[in-house]
Structure 1
């Protein structure tokens, strides 16, 4: 049986951490990959493109709402069991999507896949945090986060290519295959991280009443709303700065993915070096600064592809560096017993922020123009940063429960 902290004192990362990377790559890609084949799905199933687009919306909404709910139910089970079982059902859901005879069957399969992805993601983060050596939690969380980030620039291109070459159903077969591989990897390598003690529902819902946890979730929500608003309208923004550049958007999307991947790993190391709270402030401050720079650039009259690329690359490093310090912060606020529930609640804040980003950005574009998108995004990031600057206060409800369950909560 793999021992979670067997790598303490070693700079070499354990194999199970890369399995968790693959796990989150699969679950996150499942959300993005369908965007590249929406017209083909609409044509094959006889629905409008807008109706096909709801397959993306439903996945995100169900994911956001299901993450904390399912985490409460699964908190008492061993993390390896939760991750493997969730992945297995995730594979089944994607096979059902690949075989879907009609639109409503496909929509139902997406709902199940989203629920499974939600619980698997929370369990993966909890496993990485519990299995990390004391001074390397941020680094471990950074590697897991990198799986989600990599999905950002692999999902749509891979989905578009597969859809064109083999049909849209091939995209779901691919996700199912990667999910099956990850399931085997989790069963073979994941550390033995036990669940929490059996407890009344009131105690399991403690993170929902813990001010320190809710504040971190609010920080995540505001940061996601601002960062993803800018990302959603990146193409329109880039056209304002350098409209004559051929293939600019494709290059910028690749740049965002590569820089974001680096940002996730660097933020993990910064979290280990300075602690999750200081690391979070660094990331949020840098994010706000780069959005303000993007706002200044679009109003400056400078039309330079090179300057635009530098600004976007630096912005992406901070934007996708959020997860390691924010997950470390919410886990520290909740304590080990409620870690999975708190992590899931934070993921829910991230996805709700993503949903708000598109709607709020659309309102800004419709009323003031795309130039004001980075201005609005900067305002949201400044609010997030200000909230993160507040001194940490906790009622201690979760930590007292964790202390009582300490003998069981220790990693085996």
Structure 2
């Protein structure tokens, strides 16, 4: 079982790498392709939007296909998209490659998660969600800082060639170490969407959207923030991404353990409330590198701690549609990333200082907290249905 979880985590690492690595090299892409920084930022936005839409749709459309075969074909398409990005002679081609990678990447991550929660005991679900999320977090730890350094010497394009090679290696790993996984019963997308009629469930997904939007309003433009506010060079920027990534990895695990120990409701409220404080003090902390490092570590931990708590919460309150709720969660994450990257670009264009991005993100987190309180105070449709049946 541990080997299977490792294989699934490896797949999410590869898929997460191509989305996250681009944030560290946005200035280089903008300069090379002769576009503005905010226009380059839309490469993050389009990836997130396509990912959000394709996740649930692809899960429904591919339900009858044996999972291992689906994995391998999806990763092959993912490799093609990565090679297209490596070759891209202009912004438009790179834009298309992002769409290809978003569709295939969404299915890779969703398959990893839905399979993982079915092969562990119920009391370890939140923890294994955290472990799978660590696959994406590890792409921050290793991919983003190494990507920043690599592009300094070889250019940003080589990063996509490396990703293509890593994906091929992951395919070999899956072929040899992951057994045949039966297809699942097809659930029509219309039926899946009915779960969103619950105010408790839809507001829970809004928490994820707003939390990630608040996070990415700042994180999508972390490189220019570090250059502007702390005047860091390439090596120190790479070090900052590495520390942030380590914090994110631990945050995914901490979020899962915290949810298992004190419950999802308390975990969500604690994580979001702390996130608000950290985002508002982040620009102020730049007066000292030591203060900023502490604030950045907390920011990194919180950025991934929310995911296991949210997904475990949805599994508890919508067990009949748990698979699609997990897919919706990843869609909500991507919608939040899209909103945050767009908002961050608008703030950069209009504000006098990039520090305003952190405060704008903090404001979105405040709205996320209100949505969390609302969701926690609502009776779920699952509980209501059980009460109706018992009466």
Judge same fold: TM > 0.5, yes or no.
yes
Aligned to 1:344: 327
Residues 27-46 of structure 1: CA distance to partner in whole angstroms, max 9, x if unpaired? 111123345667887898xx
User: Tell me, what secondary structure is at the counterpart of 1:125?
Assistant: helix
Distance across 2 between alignment mates of 1:96 and 1:238: 30
Deviation at 1:117, TM superposition (A): 0.3
Verify: 1:396 aligned to 2:382, yes or no. yes
- Give deviations 1:154-191, integer Å, cap 9, x for gaps: 33444455556566554333222222232333344447
Structure-1 separation of matches of 2:279 and 2:132? 26
Unmatched 5+ residue regions in structure 2?
387-391
CA RMSD of aligned residues (A): 3.6
Counterpart check, 1:355 vs 2:343: no
- Structure 1: runs of 5+ lacking an equivalent: 1-6, 8-13, 401-412
Q: Indicate the residue corresponding to 1:257 in structure 2.
A: 245
Aligned to 1:380: 364
Q: Contact conserved, 1:21 with 1:147, CA < 8 A, in 2?
A: yes
1:350 aligned counterpart, secondary structure: helix
Kindly indicate whether the alpha-carbon contact (under 8 Å) linking 1:139 and 1:265 is maintained by their aligned counterparts in 2.
yes
- CA deviations on 1:181-238 (whole Å, 9 max, x unpaired) are 3233334444776554334443233334343332221000111111222324546666
The question of whether the paired residues in 2 share the 8 Å contact of 1:245 and 1:305 is answered with no
Alignment coverage as a number of residue pairs: 381
1:214 aligns with 2:202: yes
Q: How does 1:9-408 map to 2 (within 5 A)?
A: 14-34=2-22, 47-50=33-36, 55-75=43-63, 77=65, 79-98=67-86, 106-163=94-151, 170-190=158-178, 196-234=184-222, 249-294=237-282, 297=284, 303-335=287-319, 338-364=321-347, 366-367=350-351, 369-389=353-373, 390-396=376-382
Task: Name 1:409's counterpart in structure 2.
Answer: none
**Cα distance per residue 1:51-97 (max 9 Å; x no partner):** 76654443233222222222232345554454333223222333454
Q: Which stretch of the first structure deviates more once superposed, 366-375 or 346-355?
A: 366-375
**Higher normalized helix content (fraction of residues):** 2
- Alignment deviations for residues 101-123 of structure 1 (CA, whole Å, 9 cap, x no partner): 77655544432221000111112
TM-score (norm: length of structure 2): 0.81
Quick one: structure 1 residues 358 and 119, their matched pair in 2 at CA, closer, same or farther if it must change by over 3 Å? same
CA distance in 2, matches of 1:394, 1:227: 28
User: Does structure 2 retain, via aligned residues, the 8 Å contact 1:283–1:319?
Assistant: no
* 8 Å Cα contact 1:122-1:341 kept in structure 2: no
Relative distance call for 1:281 and 1:246 in structure 2 (3 A) is same
Kept in 2: contact 1:86–1:120 (CA 8 A): yes
Find the aligned partners of 2:48 and 2:97 in 1 and give their Cα distance: 13
> Once the two structures are superposed, what CA deviation does each residue of 1:352-377 show, in whole Å capped at 9, x if it has no partner?
21222233334445347444443333
3-state secondary structure, aligned to 2:282? helix
Question: Do 1:241 and 1:304's aligned partners in 2 also have CA atoms closer than 8 Å?
Answer: no
**Structure 1 residues 192 and 332: CA distance shift in structure 2, 3 A:** farther
